[in-house]
Structure 1
Amino acid sequence: MAKVYELLSRQLIGLGSDTIFGLVGSGNFFLAESLVTHGAKFVAARHEAGALAMADAWARLTQKVGICTVHMGPGFTNIITPLVEAAKARTPLLVLTADVSTGAVTSTFAIDIDALATASGAIPERLWKNSTATQDLVRAYRRARYERRPVVFVMPQDIQAAESTAAVIAPEDNAYFSVIPDRSILEKIVSLVRDSRHPLILAGRGSVLAGARAGLEKLAEAIGALLATTANAHGLFAGNPWSIGIAGGFSSPGAVELFRQADLILAFGASLTVWTRRHGRLFPESCPIVQIDLDPAALHRQYPVTLACVGDARATAEALLELLPDKPVGQWRTPSTLQFIQEHSWINTPFEDASTENTIDPRTLSLFLEQNLPPDRILVLDSGHFMAYPVMYLSVPDEKGFVFTQALQSIGFGLPNAIGAAIAYPDRLTIAATGDGGLLLSLSELETVARYRLPILIVVYNDAAYGAEVHHFAPMGWPTSTVQFPDTNIAELARALGMHAFTVRTQRDLESLREALSDRSCYPMLLDAKVNPAVRGGEWFDLAFEGH
């Protein structure tokens, strides 16, 4: 006989959940304390939205079910925005939320959690009674894991505190997803490959989840294809000389030129959004597109492709290899193409430095960071006008080196996402690239960074504005006083919390930081970079607002 909250904590530990993010109130206090007692690492956030965003990033990088716990009532309503982001992104999360006791319909905390969860795109599950406590929890956990969606597990207080004889259920790891299309479909793909001279393999997040890098690289070599990724799979082909980077708004001008020469796109685990396709202008109109995805609902959803089939990215790539001719059929992998790729990366694309006496060009800042930060890193990107510059100039070592929570296009997730990333991989330097708007929106979590002394570099591209709105509406003749603000001394805020923090206005300021940036004991660190607000995002920025 044990308290239900005790059984729930044992069950979570038994399922392998050793890291919990959350904010504790009276409704989830006993569960949280019990989890810590049983050996779980509890990461205490300062805001519930931050806690869920941390769990989201942690889950994306570790490919495990992220766990977040919050109080009832406002504790739950505070997580709605990051919950919608996670639902749109299909992140496997288990949200343990308290609820009022059974029948407490007049409690000020009483809300329809199930309805709010459903409206957010999450799956509501519930702790029904003390005798089924562990069964209820395991069911919710499995749904999060196998359906790859956030599950909100509602825990009434009276049932949490009840006694139960329910047994902890042993974990089962017997689910496999190695789905291969029928041979007839594979042969259709091979036929398209044989007719192609400039094939390109485009890998999305589904390829990351499938561990498909090796298989896709072998397939690309066999058919003479170039390689590219969506933004969410950035880093998957890091170091491969035939990779041309991200497809979409973040593509370099040289990469765009190559994309427009493609005569076959093999998209593995990629949803083919308007951003990836540059609103239909990245690939030639006549270019056939084959979409391979484990989720049938993803096929044709964003774009009517030439051929769509259900399949695991790695298994399908390996199956195609067995049917291909011995010699590559493509004609793209030539010394001249390789030289073009190398010479036309963002790093080698020239720009005119627009730094002034008091502001730094965001491109100059980003390029300096690329040259002076350790390569074993995780780049976490917030949203805003600045967001392309870190992607353009800061390389990542692999698919675990990039966090991009932009399914909802909200600002303010960058800092808590970085905390989740740093907890997942503390041996790497996590770079949180954010604007002043996003940083100030999540300012409470700056204390969390300082409290845990996390290996994080926070780079604030500070233009004292919501720069995206300024650069979008000002050219139309609109005043922008509502989206511009007095300069904020963000470095001073960080120093008040005990962090190393520096204000950057010039190249000289950057040069003075070389030693500190190379000293791991100086982290966490914040750079309040006063960027030149006149530097406007390029084509990617216009694409972002197209069809907004």
Structure 2
Amino acid sequence: MTLIADQIIQHLRSAGVQRLFGMPGGGGPADLIEAAARAGLPFTLAHTETAAAFMASAQAEITGKPGACLATLGPGATALMNGVANAYLDRIPLIAITDRHSAAVERVMQHQTLPQAELLAPITKWNGRLTVGDAEHTLRCAMQAATGLPPAPVHIDISADVTDAPAPAPRPPRTGVQLNPPRTGVQLNAPTPALEATLRGARRPLLLIGLGARTGPIALAIRALCERHGLPALVTYKAKGVLPDEHPWFGGVLTNGALERPLMAQADVLIAVGLDPVELLPRPWTFPQPVVSVSAWQLQQQQVPFAADLVGDVVGWLEVIANLLPAQCDWGAAAVAQATRTQRDAMRPPTEADRLAPHRVVEIAAQAWPGMRATVDAGAHMFPVMSLWPAREPNGILISNGLATMGFALPAAIGAALLDPTQPVAAFTGDGGLLMCLGELRTAARENVPLRVLVFDDGDLSLIKIKQVQRGYHTDGVSLGAVDWVALGEGLGLVAFRARDESQLAHCLSEAATIPGPALIAAEIDP
């Protein structure tokens, strides 16, 4: 007999979900885990619901298919919210499933009863409650909303009286009816005369590449455009790898900060491809050049003034733009390379010879682990990592950018490593971020994933401490104290190392590369 739990799993698999993540409760989630086992869909136990959402989101970003996570009712649903919020701001297709009491119980009981749909509604594109009579339609709507443009998290509330009920006979999809249908962009048919004039008159156009460009076809079109016309590109953190760091027209990273300003000041037209303002620092856009936006979906934003907003087939629009630009732009590869070097050199401050500097940790790791996918936590360390760690393909580096949450790198790396156990993943994290998700080291050990966790250990919340010092404040509330990372790592089942200088670090990273399972390397840095 097919149960509704089986029906849910069938829809998840059809949508491309490769694994379930979560911290289960005893109601509907237990039914789903059992149904997943029957269907051959693996389940990974996480130690927090937020981490489960990060793991699922990492798989979604890499595959382009939805990830899925589940949580129990009440505290499970509330603990899930940070991971769902991350997916919402970074435009990730995530299926978040939460347990709840049956309708009959909710009418009389208050224990662990919360308005879960209302709590998650502001950070999901769609949410709904599964019922026996409407399960098929609800699941179709959820999958459609998650994968429609822009991709986004959706929320499904389930209860055990529904998941263990027999599934009704399949019915044809309803026509003309959707639950909260996703908004889609409007295809524009032709550039306006003003846009044509802007592009034909451009001599130094500059590409600004964002998260909406992270597909194979768009990445190839961008590379071809750069090479055909000789124009550089800046990439946001989420778009690292769309144009590889080693590419001669790679101009550096884009944050709406100071480091990209010298290159942007030389441009006469800015062409934003998949650029979502959620990726930019929350400060005014001060560049006077016209901005031409090319996006697969209509952006809801006011930060960047668009002179033209081209929505729809991004590859097609790039071909239109290519035919309007001059055959060869007035940039030079040498000047672009110098701008990139200048940006990277800003991440290399002078340090004492006998101390480990953060930028040297990244550079030594890049030499020891070439070509490895990486995940990056929020914190002071992310600046040298995002500038100096080379990415060769879209999603070669995963980071929480829109939400910029700590505690992301380790669980995201676990999710990434579980996709392909033959490909190791590096997780760059500060000590504060790792302490937020410490239990996931046990998840990594239990799953025996090929994971290299590199901890920037300085005993402080350094990014906050820097801001306190800049404001002339006391540095209160930012000291973490000393942590014995080797003992912690080994106690949770990892091989663990500690490095205090460059020679030790190179040796530790080399040793870690030979370990088939997870390894933890604590680098004592001088921030």
Question: What's the TM-score once normalised by structure 2's chain length?
Answer: 0.90
Paired AA for residue 233 in structure 1? A
Three-state SS of the structure 2 residue aligned to 1:513 is helix
CA contact under 8 A between 1:383 and 1:434: conserved in structure 2?
Answer: yes
Aligned to 1:199: 205
**1:444-455 to 2 correspondence within 5 Å?**
444-455=439-450
Paired AA for residue 423 in structure 2? R
Paired AA for residue 241 in structure 2? G
Map Cα deviations across residues 487-530 of structure 1 (whole Å, 9 max, x no partner): 11122101112211111111231233253144253x41111111
**Structure 2 residue 216 is the aligned partner of structure 1 residue 213:** no
CA contact under 8 A between 2:187 and 2:311: conserved in structure 1?
Answer: yes
Three-state SS of the structure 2 residue aligned to 1:125 is strand
**Structure 2 residue 296 is the aligned partner of structure 1 residue 294:** yes
**Structure 2 residue 53 is the aligned partner of structure 1 residue 48:** no
CA contact under 8 A between 1:49 and 1:80: conserved in structure 2?
Answer: yes
Aligned to 1:162: 165
**1:313-352 to 2 correspondence within 5 Å?**
313-321=314-322, 323-324=323-324, 328-332=327-331, 334=332, 336-337=334-335, 340=338, 343-344=341-342, 346=344, 351-352=349-350
For the residues of structure 1 that align with 2:446 and 2:138, how far apart are their CA atoms?
35
Aligned to 2:519: 525
Three-state SS of the structure 1 residue aligned to 2:148 is helix
Three-state SS of the structure 2 residue aligned to 1:103 is helix
CA contact under 8 A between 1:23 and 1:44: conserved in structure 2?
Answer: yes
**Structure 2 residue 244 is the aligned partner of structure 1 residue 248:** no
Following TM superposition, by how much is the alpha carbon of 1:280 offset from its aligned partner in structure 2, in angstroms?
Answer: 3.1
Three-state SS of the structure 2 residue aligned to 1:420 is helix
Aligned to 1:399: 394
Aligned to 1:67: 68
CA contact under 8 A between 2:204 and 2:330: conserved in structure 1?
Answer: yes
Map Cα deviations across residues 85-108 of structure 1 (whole Å, 9 max, x no partner): 211222111112111012212141
Three-state SS of the structure 1 residue aligned to 2:455 is strand
Following TM superposition, by how much is the alpha carbon of 1:149 offset from its aligned partner in structure 2, in angstroms?
Answer: 1.6
Residues 339/108 of structure 1: CA separation in 2 closer, same or farther (3 Å cut): closer
**Structure 2 residue 78 is the aligned partner of structure 1 residue 82:** no
CA contact under 8 A between 2:365 and 2:506: conserved in structure 1?
Answer: no
2:264 to 246, 252, 259: 259
Following TM superposition, by how much is the alpha carbon of 1:179 offset from its aligned partner in structure 2, in angstroms?
Answer: 7.0
Aligned to 1:546: none
Q: Cα RMSD between the aligned structures?
A: 2.6
Paired AA for residue 116 in structure 1? L
Paired AA for residue 296 in structure 2? L
CA contact under 8 A between 2:250 and 2:337: conserved in structure 1?
Answer: no
Following TM superposition, by how much is the alpha carbon of 1:443 offset from its aligned partner in structure 2, in angstroms?
Answer: 0.6
**Structure 2 residue 103 is the aligned partner of structure 1 residue 102:** yes
Deviates most, 429-438 or 406-415 = 406-415
CA contact under 8 A between 1:203 and 1:269: conserved in structure 2?
Answer: yes
**1:415-494 to 2 correspondence within 5 Å?**
415-494=410-489
For the residues of structure 2 that align with 1:350 and 1:99, how far apart are their CA atoms?
51
CA contact under 8 A between 1:271 and 1:302: conserved in structure 2?
Answer: no
Aligned to 2:26: 26
**1:484-523 to 2 correspondence within 5 Å?**
484-513=479-508, 515-521=510-516, 523=517
CA contact under 8 A between 1:290 and 1:306: conserved in structure 2?
Answer: yes
**Structure 2 residue 139 is the aligned partner of structure 1 residue 137:** yes
Residues 507/228 of structure 1: CA separation in 2 closer, same or farther (3 Å cut): same
Paired AA for residue 378 in structure 2? S
Aligned to 1:542: none
CA contact under 8 A between 1:347 and 1:367: conserved in structure 2?
Answer: no
For the residues of structure 2 that align with 1:183 and 1:423, how far apart are their CA atoms?
44
Aligned to 1:183: 190
Residues 352/152 of structure 1: CA separation in 2 closer, same or farther (3 Å cut): same
Residues 444/350 of structure 1: CA separation in 2 closer, same or farther (3 Å cut): closer
For the residues of structure 2 that align with 1:143 and 1:98, how far apart are their CA atoms?
20
Following TM superposition, by how much is the alpha carbon of 1:270 offset from its aligned partner in structure 2, in angstroms?
Answer: 0.4
Following TM superposition, by how much is the alpha carbon of 1:158 offset from its aligned partner in structure 2, in angstroms?
Answer: 1.3
Residues 152/467 of structure 1: CA separation in 2 closer, same or farther (3 Å cut): same
Aligned to 1:538: none
For the residues of structure 2 that align with 1:339 and 1:208, how far apart are their CA atoms?
23
For the residues of structure 1 that align with 2:446 and 2:279, how far apart are their CA atoms?
40
Number of matched residues?
513
Aligned to 1:541: none
For the residues of structure 1 that align with 2:16 and 2:242, how far apart are their CA atoms?
26
1:367 to 339, 363, 370: 363
Following TM superposition, by how much is the alpha carbon of 1:345 offset from its aligned partner in structure 2, in angstroms?
Answer: 6.0
Paired AA for residue 272 in structure 2? A
CA contact under 8 A between 1:179 and 1:294: conserved in structure 2?
Answer: no
Three-state SS of the structure 1 residue aligned to 2:299 is helix
Three-state SS of the structure 1 residue aligned to 2:473 is coil
For the residues of structure 2 that align with 1:37 and 1:233, how far apart are their CA atoms?
38
Aligned to 1:545: none
Residues 343/246 of structure 1: CA separation in 2 closer, same or farther (3 Å cut): closer
Following TM superposition, by how much is the alpha carbon of 1:168 offset from its aligned partner in structure 2, in angstroms?
Answer: 8.4
Following TM superposition, by how much is the alpha carbon of 1:462 offset from its aligned partner in structure 2, in angstroms?
Answer: 1.3
Following TM superposition, by how much is the alpha carbon of 1:306 offset from its aligned partner in structure 2, in angstroms?
Answer: 2.1
Following TM superposition, by how much is the alpha carbon of 1:391 offset from its aligned partner in structure 2, in angstroms?
Answer: 1.5
Residues 476/167 of structure 1: CA separation in 2 closer, same or farther (3 Å cut): same
CA contact under 8 A between 2:310 and 2:317: conserved in structure 1?
Answer: no
**Structure 2 residue 116 is the aligned partner of structure 1 residue 113:** yes
For the residues of structure 2 that align with 1:164 and 1:401, how far apart are their CA atoms?
41
Three-state SS of the structure 2 residue aligned to 1:450 is helix
Residue segments in structure 1 that go unaligned for 5+ positions in a row: 536-548
Following TM superposition, by how much is the alpha carbon of 1:279 offset from its aligned partner in structure 2, in angstroms?
Answer: 4.3
For the residues of structure 2 that align with 1:310 and 1:290, how far apart are their CA atoms?
11
Residues 278/352 of structure 1: CA separation in 2 closer, same or farther (3 Å cut): farther
Residues 227/8 of structure 1: CA separation in 2 closer, same or farther (3 Å cut): same
Aligned to 1:275: 280
**Structure 2 residue 376 is the aligned partner of structure 1 residue 381:** yes
For the residues of structure 1 that align with 2:15 and 2:359, how far apart are their CA atoms?
45
**Structure 2 residue 406 is the aligned partner of structure 1 residue 408:** no
Residues 76/182 of structure 1: CA separation in 2 closer, same or farther (3 Å cut): same
Following TM superposition, by how much is the alpha carbon of 1:122 offset from its aligned partner in structure 2, in angstroms?
Answer: 4.7
Question: What's the TM-score once normalised by structure 1's chain length?
Answer: 0.87
